[in-house]
Structure 1
Amino acid sequence: MPENYVPPVAETTDSAKQGKLTAYGFSEAQRMAVRVRNVGCTTVTRGTGFAIDERTLITNRHVVDGTTTLQLSTYDGRDVDVTNSSVAAFADLALVRTKEDLDAFPILAENDPQPGDQLTIVGYPNGGALTVTSGEALYYQQDPLEENLGEVLVSDAEVERGSSGSAVLDSEGRLVGVVYAKSNTGHSFIIPVSSLLTILAGAEGFNAQKTTTCNR
């Protein structure tokens, strides 16, 4: 990853009103967002995932890379067992399948957000409390991390390390993107929902991930 860009991560808050969410919307966000803890051979990577159906999570590929064990937990501390994971052939995306049903999942928007739209990002910065932050869709640009994504959305909504894989919601609470990086100036980079839908629709969009074996 270029030194000017870092995996993302939002100021921690317990407020249901932060990020333009109503109390009901915050409750839904709590139930769709999941902490991801990737235990590798020498490091632990923390990130965020969100449900897209009863037993499927989306997160970033770099959140699950090099794993020996993936650990998922909900906002209320419930552990969720993983059956398998797969990574996108291109783009910084991964799928994680679970053994049990997840509580809630968002409607995927049909269209990408436009500059000026208000956005809400839902995640677990630093593996801590669920946090929601709000910002504006600024503009589209070519993917700066060269993940062959084409154009990605730039937003001024704050993210931090640990928010990688966070859901990006529009003012209606629909999913419009996935956070995957931030710039050295604090802007967040978002995979737009159209790219996610294209990859999900492809028969070979994701490849099974192999668990890493550590040398002892």
Structure 2
Amino acid sequence: MSGHVGRRAGRRPRGARTAPVRSALAVGVVASLLAACAALPAPPPPVPTSVVPSTAPAPTTTEAGSQLSPDGFDAAQRMAVRIRNIGCGALSTGSGFAIDEHTLVTNRHVVADSAQLELSTYDGRDVAAEAASSAALADLAVVRTVDALPSAPVLADADPAIGDAVTVVGYPLGRRLTVTDGRIMGAVTDPLNANLGEVLVTDAPVEPGSSGSAALDSSGRVIGVVYAKNATGMSFVVPVSTLRTLLADAAAFAPAPTCG
């Protein structure tokens, strides 16, 4: 796995939040990016037409094992996108989600050093990528698509509070669309780039390939973007306040680096 962390001075995200998680969540624990890497570009299994929930424990469950409402669950699977980054001699996989008909959000390290990006949706449809741009401040990227994406979620107006429910929707290991549930455990200085400021911490389980997954509240609104985890199983999320700030700044994104 590989990823590059920007060094641009950051601003602290705005939003509802209580006291930060203590440094025990990050000190002495190396956070790892969540792109799934492979030596050969063998395609993963086809995308199924149904969502397979994780076996991780969930605080509350509804249809299909998620704490999302039925409407939120349906919207979540429609907006999730699987990403295959075919580089020069290597393959990595990640996740993303639509924010409009021709734009998806993912992590910077998911799209970096690519020769070609392959995108597919929950119903097995391939979507052609047009261009990828990455942010210098946070581990975020946007990908423009030639083909229309099925659906886009609503971005939450504010960051979640500690204790709020969270559902992560993505493609761990580049395979099946999966949902995992948990809670917002707090906020901590970004363990990979202190200049970003605070990021959210959740106990919702993630795996390699989950990079770029949307973190949703119980109504299916995006409250952040998953980008890393630590050795204790805690996941790190770029908060929606940071995502909104960067999306509103035309200078925040530049063409993503390719492998040549």
Bin for the TM-score computed over the shorter chain: over 0.9
Q: Structure 1 unaligned segments of length 5 or more: list them.
A: none
**Structure (1 or 2) with the larger CA radius of gyration:** 2
Letter in 2 for 1:6: S
1:69 and 2:130 aligned: no
Q: Deviations over 1:55-112 (max 9, x none)?
A: 0000000001110000001112111001101000221000000001111111101100
Output aligned runs, 1:169-188, within 5 Å. Answer: 169-188=216-235
1:20-76: CA deviation from partner (whole Å, max 9, x where unpaired): 124433221121000000001121110001000010000000001110000001112
Does the aligned pair in 1 maintain the 2:82–2:93 contact within 8 Å? yes
Aligned to 1:94: 141
Is this contact kept in 2: 1:90–1:147, CA < 8 A? no
Instruction: Pick one of 18, 23, 26 that aligns with 2:65.
Output: 18
Verify the 8 A CA contact 2:29 2:230 in the aligned structure 1.
no
**Could you tell me the TM-score, scaled by structure 1's length?**
0.92
Cα RMSD (Å):
1.7
Percent sequence identity over aligned pairs:
54
- The normalised TM-score by structure 2 is 0.77
What are the equivalent positions in structure 2 for 1:35-184 lying under 5 Å apart?
35-146=82-193, 148-184=195-231
Amino acid at match of 1:46: T
Instruction: Note the C-alpha offset of 1:17.
Output: 2.5
Partner AA of 1:120 in structure 2: T
Match of 1:7 in 2: 33
Distance in structure 2 (CA, Å) of the matches to 1:34 and 1:14: 15
1:204 partner letter: A
Unaligned runs of 5+ in 2: 4-27, 36-50, 54-62
Higher strand share: 1
Paired residues, number? 210
Q: CA deviation at 1:147?
A: 5.9
The answer to whether the 8 A contact 1:19-1:121 is kept is no
